[in-house]
Structure 1
């Protein structure tokens, strides 16, 4: 399987690659079906792509059958021959994000990456580029599937599906992060629980958390100490969560506590985008200067980035610092299993269509990687 990453110079790309390096036999009984043989990076900034490629090379050191990594010369080169295209781009870079935050704040409303006025501005800038990519996919990679992880995820996925139809899959790591944190707080193995999540991506509520037929959520909501042990419990508070009877996604704090989060954002010395522009700029400068230490520099910057995630909402709620378990949320490591399951889904769909439309005919399946 050949995977292309649009936004291949993005800071979190190594999370996807690290997950590809750790395919377990349980996750992929048919190793050929789930194995990614090549990862192609495409980014409008070749310097960033080279830095990320050096991080991936360090991650792959000593790993048997690690996916080969190459940097594409242009978009068509990146798309041609791809089985899956993972779209995780930031149109306008972090400078664009800063504008999305500062313009609304100056008008007295919240500027945030995916919700409210900031999210609308981001979507308006991103969708035209996403449609151009969809058009090039139709032209040079018509059989490829697109996995969209570009925010605002719902808007971008819907727009691209109008060009690519059912070959677009939108994903978000935020809901699964909430499920994992809630399961741990309830004393359960996150891999063993079932759950009911109502909503889409960032805007949703966890309404059930089941283990062997028993719903753990009522007990969790009744336990002040357990609620105080994870991000959403501290962010919303026990009283509010019990009134809701569910666990909201952390992004809903921007709606439930709009005045408080707006006040915290306006009082902050810098926006999240300004912080990332400064922090990531330092990372890319340092890693380009010391490519042999790129992975070490990236790991240090990643931890700092994750520890400061959601600082405005925590400041508004008095939630304090992030706990270590809060850093084990969704992240893009969740995306690699999605890609593997999508590959199986493609084969299953092909076989189903063959049986439906050509019953009794001989069918052969070839998996190339």
Structure 2
């Protein structure tokens, strides 16, 4: 099988390739094509992958190209992990928002809207090309904002595009471990939108163990989300929120921590990865070792501002393991290509799953996956406060899609103004002006 990785010069690509190296079953991926607009980044990542594959028989062959159509032609799966505007764009998103006193995180609030406005037109172009050049391919979207971008692509690819994220999986694995269960055998009852969901139950051996966790303050405070949100708030909610809900529940504290930080997350990653790619221009640089050291620093500093605001301290060693989006992607490809049925938390079209949203709205829920794709599983309704937040953010996503389709700056202003974390139409107008000034890709907004 052929896998095309868009954003193939991206820093996290070796994680995906590492997962492929561990797959020895019949029908596995045998050819990987990396696509990126930056040939130097492609060269750097190709070197890392070559060292990963050293000594491994029948490792998937790797080729690289800057020609998108060439990468897509004949693909069985397309993994999309593009970053329009690069990390410099992410840093600018943060800076413009913080100057207005609002959040600039890349998937939440003003920063997420700005990122969506410049990413959706590119993602739609990719979807149209896939439909033309690889109509039987399945698209696995990891491009942020993942739910919004998946919904944009689904308008052209239907259910053949599926969004993935490691955040809910990581949360479920941490909770399972705290409860003494095997994370690989636990069923995670998780519902919401991407980066806006709640773990409402965790069944081990058919028994929901979440009430036991919520009843034990010491146990509840022993893992990352317990320290981040505080045990009293989690018990009040009766669920464990996705870590990104910290931006909503503790917004003022998060904004203040970002404003006071020596460097925002986007700026940190911009500089860190610039050093990595600069180092990789040296032909004698140990590619895999350099990448590993950079990745370790990246994981240790994840959501540092939020932990600072919550007084949660440094990340514990057991919290450093992510949900493993590369393993989610591999399990998804196996289930579709080999009809190996799996249950995965994915971003898919709603259908009738959440009655508060229409059928085409992309949501993030447990899905049953087989050769026919991902099928959202029946879930109980969200409580009122969560339903209200989900509906409000989905309405914003729809305005982003409308603005990207029409090029209307007035619609873009509406998207910002309606977001729960942007509390002023005047601020929304200044944000649109500010983002147009720093992002040439938003010149289409008139």
Tell me, yes or no, whether TM beats 0.5. Answer: yes
Cα RMSD, aligned residues only: 1.5
Report the equivalent of 1:16: 16
1:64 CA displacement: 1.9
Is 2:344 the counterpart of 1:343? no
Report the equivalent of 1:333: 326
Task: Return the alpha-carbon distance in structure 2 between the equivalents of residues 56 and 239 of structure 1.
Answer: 45
What is the SS of the residue equivalent to 1:328?
A: coil
Bigger shift: 259-268 or 324-333?
Answer: 324-333
What is the SS of the residue equivalent to 2:203?
A: strand
Is 2:313 the counterpart of 1:320? yes
TM-score (norm 1): 0.90
Is 2:7 the counterpart of 1:7? yes
Task: Return the alpha-carbon distance in structure 1 between the equivalents of residues 372 and 158 of structure 2.
Answer: 15
1:131-182 deviation per Cα after TM superposition (whole angstroms, max 9, x unaligned) = 1111211222122111111000111111111111221111111111100011
TM-score (norm 2): 0.75
Alignment of 1:163-242 (within 5 A): 163-242=156-235
Task: Return the alpha-carbon distance in structure 2 between the equivalents of residues 225 and 299 of structure 1.
Answer: 34
Q: How many aligned residue pairs are there?
A: 343
Structure having greater relative contact order (Cα 8 Å, sep ≥ 6): 1
Report the equivalent of 1:28: none
Task: Return the alpha-carbon distance in structure 1 between the equivalents of residues 331 and 207 of structure 2.
Answer: 27
1:180-230 deviation per Cα after TM superposition (whole angstroms, max 9, x unaligned) = 011111111101211210212211010111111221111112223322322
Q: Which runs of 4+ in 1 moved over 6 A?
A: none
Is 2:298 the counterpart of 1:298? no
Q: Is the 8 A contact 1:60 1:66 kept in 2?
A: yes
Report the equivalent of 1:367: none
Report the equivalent of 1:63: 56
Bigger shift: 198-207 or 248-257?
Answer: 198-207
Unaligned runs of 5+ in 1: 25-30, 351-369
Alignment match of 2:99 (pick from 102, 106, 124): 106
Unaligned runs of 5+ in 2: 340-368, 374-446
Report the equivalent of 2:129: 136
What is the SS of the residue equivalent to 1:154?
A: helix
Task: Return the alpha-carbon distance in structure 1 between the equivalents of residues 284 and 255 of structure 2.
Answer: 40
Report the equivalent of 1:270: 263
Q: Is the 8 A contact 2:164 2:325 kept in 1?
A: no
Task: Return the alpha-carbon distance in structure 1 between the equivalents of residues 218 and 277 of structure 2.
Answer: 41
Bigger shift: 80-89 or 135-144?
Answer: 135-144
What is the SS of the residue equivalent to 1:206?
A: strand
What is the SS of the residue equivalent to 2:247?
A: helix
What is the SS of the residue equivalent to 1:32?
A: coil
What is the SS of the residue equivalent to 2:219?
A: helix
Q: 1:252 to 1:64 in 2, by over 3 A?
A: same
Q: Is the 8 A contact 2:36 2:66 kept in 1?
A: no
Report the equivalent of 1:246: 239
Task: Return the alpha-carbon distance in structure 1 between the equivalents of residues 214 and 372 of structure 2.
Answer: 41
Q: Is the 8 A contact 1:306 1:327 kept in 2?
A: yes
Q: Is the 8 A contact 1:54 1:291 kept in 2?
A: no
